[in-house]
Structure 1
Amino acid sequence: MTGLREVLEAHVRDGALPGAVALVAREGRTECVAVGDAEAGGGTPMARDSLFRIASLTKPVTAAAVMVLVEEDRLELDAPVRRWLPELASPVVVRTPRSPVDDVVPAVRPITVEDLLSFRAGYGFPSDFSLPAVGLLFGELRQGPPQPRHVPPPDEWMAALARIPLLYQPGEAWLYHTCSDILGVLIARVSGRPLPEFLAERIFVPLGMEDTGFTVPGDRLHRFTGYYRGRPDGGPPEPVDAPDGQWSRPVAFPSGGGGLVSTADDWCAFGRMLLAGGRAADGRALLTPGSVRQMMTDRLTPAQRAGGELFLEGQGWGFGGSVDVEPRDPWNVPGRYGWIGGTGTAAHVVPSTGTVTVLLTQLELGGPNPPALMRDFWRYATGA
C-alpha cells in the first residue's frame, strides 16, 4: 500500500505544490508527514509545526464557540439575532435571486442563531456568483479569498452588510461562507470580548492550541509558510502572501469564516475534542456531547443540498462544517464532519472510526471542489 509520504510527494515532486503537512490520528496512533518546502523555490523545509493559513477550517471552530455561548444560556438557537446584531433587525430579500438589488421584499421572519450556524440565513454564495446580490458580498464585504488587511472593522462591516439584501428568505436555502463571518461578530458582541480573545480563552488554551490565532507573532514567523496561487500553464506557483505579509500584524476584522492560522497538531486537538464528546485531553469539558452532536448533524433538506452542489458535492451541512450523508465516493464515510479551506487545507473527524485527518498546503484552491491531492489523501486516510 502507498504510504502517506508517497501520497504527498507525488504532488510536490513536479514543483506545482511547494510542500504539505498531513496528519492521520486513529486508535491512539498519530501519523504525521511533512514534505517539500515552506516557501516556493526552496529554503526552509516543511516541518510538522509549520504554520498555515487554514482559511475555512476556521468555520467549525467558530461554530463550537457559538455552542459554548448556547450552553451558558447566553444564546438560544431559535432566538432572533437582532438583539445583538441590530443591523439585521429588518432584513429585506431580493424578489428573486436574479432580481436587481433594489427589487426587494421584507423577510418573512427574523434571522435566528441556528440560521447562521446552518448557513441558511439568506446571506452567502450560491452556485451562481454572477447574481447581483452576490456581487455586493465581494465588493462591499471583501468576501472570497482571505485578505485580512483589506476588511473593515466589525461595526463598519456589519453596517455594510445591512445594506445588502438577502438572496433567499431565512431558512430557505443553504449559502456558503458569509454566515460564519456574521457569527464571529455575534460571538464578540454576546461575550463582550474581541473574537480572538474569546476563542483563545474558551477553546485554544484549554485544548493546548498554542499556535492558533488570527496573526503570527514575530518570534514564530520563521515557521510560517508562504501562500500561493497555481498558474493556468502549470508553471511555478504565483505568490499571494509572504510570511511577513497580511497575517503578521493584528487585523481589524478577525474573520470567523476564514481568518485563522494554525498547525496540523493544533487542529487535530480540536478534532479530538469533538470525537471525545466535547472534552479536552485532560478531561476538561468545553462542550457537552449533545452540543457536539448538534454540530455534526446534517441540517439540510435534499433540495438544499442540491442547491449547494457546487460546494457540497452531495454532502450535508451541520454547524460550521459538512456532514457526509451517503457513501457517494470511496472516501465519503457517513457521519464524517469537517471542511476544506480555500488556501489548500482540509480537516475532518470520523466518529465511526475515531479518526482525525488534517491536510495543510500553501496552494490556493482553483475552485470550490477538492483537488486531486485531497482526494488521494482521503483515500489513504480511509483505506479506500
Structure 2
Amino acid sequence: MDDGRERAERIAAAVTGAVAAGQVPGAAWWVGVHGEVVSRGAAGGHVPGTDDAVRPDTVFRIASTTKPVVAAAAMALVDEGALALDEPVDALLPELADPRVLADPADPEAGTVPAERPITVRDVLTFRLGTGLDFTAPWPSPTLAALAAAGLPVGPPAPQAAPGPDEWMRRLGTVPLAAQPGSRWLYHVGASVLGVLVSRAAGRPLPAVLAERVLRPAGMGSTGFGVPASARDRLGPHWTPPGPDGAREVYDPADGQWASAPAFPDAGDGLVSTVDDLAAFARVLRSGGCAADGTRVLGEAAVRAMTTEQVGPVDDEGGGWGLGLGVRRTDEPGGRHAGSYGWDGGLGSTWWTDPVTGTTAVLLTNQMWASPEPPPLFAAFRRAAFGQEEATAGGTSS
C-alpha cells in the first residue's frame, strides 16, 4: 500500500485537475483515515474566470447529503424514546394514517386499494413508506405527476418554493401511495416526511431540533437550512453544468434561496455545510456516536442501525440503504468496501466512510450534476481517496 503522501497527492491532483480542465468552477475536499487528515484543500473559484477563490471553509449547498444528517436527529429521538422504529406514524402524521395505495402504480385510472398495514418510523427512514422516486419507471411516474399537481414537484432543490410543513403534509396526504408500506424502496420523499416527523415528535421546528440534537454537539457550526449574514461571504453562487456551447448558468445566486430561512426546511435536500462539518458528522458515526470532544450524540445501537444495510439492492452497482443513508452491499472494484456508508447530493456533494479502512472522504462542489450518475470528477476523487496503489491521479476521466 502507498503512503499517505502519495494518496494526498492523488487526491489533490484529482480535484485540481478537474477544476483546471473546466469540469467544475470550484471544489473543496477533506479526506482522513481514522480521523487523521490525509488531504484537505480547495481549488477554483465561486465565479469562473475570477479570483474569488473557493476555500476549505466555503459553505456549499449539499442537496441530498442532507438526508443522513437529519436521519441522525431522528435516531437521537429514538435513543431517548420519543420515537420507536416499529411504531406507526399515524399519531404524529395523521395525514398518512389509513393511506390508499394505487392498485397499479403505472396506471392511476386502475383505482386504489387500502394499505395492508400502517406506515412505521422504520418505513420512513428506509424509504419504504410507499411513495417517492422510482428509478425503474418512466419519468414522471403517475405518483410524481400527482405530487406535482398537488404543488409538491420533485426536482432540484428549491427551498423557497414549498409551503410550510403542515400544508406540505396535507398535500402529500391527498396523493395515493405507489406501493404498499414496507414493500419497496422509493427515493427521496421519505426524507422530506422524516423532517416533519422529527419536528412533531420533538415539538419544535426542525432547524431547532437538528441544531440541538446533531449540529451543536457534533461541532457542525456552519451547517443549517440557511446562511446567516455573518457567513454570507463564504457562500457563492451555484452553477448548472456547461451546456453544448460550454456556457454555465447560475442555478442559485449567492443571495438566493439559501440566503434566508425556508418555510419548509426540507430534510431531503435543504442543508448547506462545509467539508469540515461533514467530516465532523462522519466522525460521530465512525466513533460509534461521539463527537471529537467526547460528547455523545448518538448511542452505539443507533449508529449500528443507521449504518446496517436493510432494504436490499437499490441499484445495479452494489448500492443498498440503511436508516437514512446509503450502505454499500458489495465491494467496489478498487474503491469502497461492502459496509461503506454515506450519500451524495445532486448539487455536487459526496461523503462516504469505509469502515474497513477507516477512510472518510468528503467532496463539495459548486456545480450541480447533469444526471443521477456522478460526474467524472467524483469517480476520480473516490479512486484517489479509497483506492490502493492502482488508483490513478488526474481527475479528467472516469
TM-score by length of structure 2 reads 0.92
Of residues 97, 102, 119, the one that matches 1:89 is 97
Secondary structure in structure 1 of the residue aligned to 2:30? strand
Does 1:158 find its partner at 2:169? yes
Indicate if the aligned counterparts of 2:103 and 2:110 stay in contact, CA closer than 8 A: no
After superposition, the Cα gap between the structure-2 partners of 1:10 and 1:184, relative to the gap in structure 1 and judged at 3 Å, is: same
After superposition, the Cα gap between the structure-2 partners of 1:166 and 1:12, relative to the gap in structure 1 and judged at 3 Å, is: same
Residue 41 of structure 1, CA deviation: 3.4
Q: Distance in 1 between matches of 2:14 and 2:64?
A: 23
Q: In the alignment, residue 96 of structure 1 is paired with which amino acid? A: D
Of residues 340, 360, 365, the one that matches 2:364 is 360
Q: Distance in 1 between matches of 2:56 and 2:192?
A: 29
After superposition, the Cα gap between the structure-2 partners of 1:36 and 1:94, relative to the gap in structure 1 and judged at 3 Å, is: same
Residue 328 of structure 1, CA deviation: 4.0
Partner residue in 2 for 1:79: 87
Q: In the alignment, residue 293 of structure 1 is paired with which amino acid? A: R
Of residues 125, 130, 135, the one that matches 2:140 is 130
Deviation string, structure 1 residues 281-319 (Cα, Å, up to 9, x no partner): 111111111110100011113xxx2xx42xx73311001
- What is the CA RMSD across the aligned residues, in angstroms? 1.5
Q: Distance in 2 between matches of 1:43 and 1:216?
A: 22
Q: Distance in 2 between matches of 1:234 and 1:109?
A: 52
Of residues 7, 12, 15, the one that matches 1:8 is 15
Indicate if the aligned counterparts of 2:25 and 2:47 stay in contact, CA closer than 8 A: yes
After superposition, the Cα gap between the structure-2 partners of 1:28 and 1:78, relative to the gap in structure 1 and judged at 3 Å, is: closer
Partner residue in 1 for 2:386: 382
Indicate if the aligned counterparts of 2:306 and 2:324 stay in contact, CA closer than 8 A: yes
After superposition, the Cα gap between the structure-2 partners of 1:263 and 1:101, relative to the gap in structure 1 and judged at 3 Å, is: farther
Secondary structure in structure 2 of the residue aligned to 1:176? coil
Partner residue in 1 for 2:191: 180
Q: Distance in 2 between matches of 1:218 and 1:76?
A: 38
Q: Distance in 1 between matches of 2:88 and 2:127?
A: 15
Residue 130 of structure 1, CA deviation: 2.6
Q: Distance in 1 between matches of 2:245 and 2:112?
A: 44
Partner residue in 2 for 1:261: 272
Secondary structure in structure 1 of the residue aligned to 2:14? helix
Q: Distance in 2 between matches of 1:106 and 1:134?
A: 20
Residue 102 of structure 1, CA deviation: 7.0
Trace 1:328-339 onto structure 2 (pairs within 5 A).
Answer: 328-339=332-343
Does 1:51 find its partner at 2:59? yes
Does 1:235 find its partner at 2:252? no
Q: Distance in 2 between matches of 1:258 and 1:4?
A: 26
Q: Distance in 1 between matches of 2:70 and 2:119?
A: 18
Of residues 191, 209, 225, the one that matches 2:202 is 191
Residue 90 of structure 1, CA deviation: 1.4
Of residues 356, 374, 379, the one that matches 1:370 is 374
Residue 333 of structure 1, CA deviation: 1.2
Of residues 204, 226, 232, the one that matches 2:215 is 204
Does 1:284 find its partner at 2:292? no
Of residues 3, 20, 36, the one that matches 1:29 is 36
Does 1:226 find its partner at 2:234? no
Q: Distance in 2 between matches of 1:275 and 1:138?
A: 38
Q: Structure 1: 5+ residue runs without aligned partners? A: none
Partner residue in 1 for 2:324: 320
Indicate if the aligned counterparts of 1:101 and 1:165 stay in contact, CA closer than 8 A: no
Q: In the alignment, residue 280 of structure 2 is paired with which amino acid? A: A
Q: In the alignment, residue 27 of structure 1 is paired with which amino acid? A: H
Identical counterparts, % of pairs: 44
After superposition, the Cα gap between the structure-2 partners of 1:28 and 1:203, relative to the gap in structure 1 and judged at 3 Å, is: closer
Q: In the alignment, residue 104 of structure 1 is paired with which amino acid? A: T
Of residues 331, 345, 352, the one that matches 2:349 is 345
Residue 136 of structure 1, CA deviation: 2.4
Residue 28 of structure 1, CA deviation: 4.2
**Count, aligned residues:** 377
TM-score by length of structure 1 reads 0.95
Indicate if the aligned counterparts of 2:144 and 2:154 stay in contact, CA closer than 8 A: no
Q: In the alignment, residue 335 of structure 2 is paired with which amino acid? A: W
Partner residue in 2 for 1:244: 255
Residue 250 of structure 1, CA deviation: 1.3
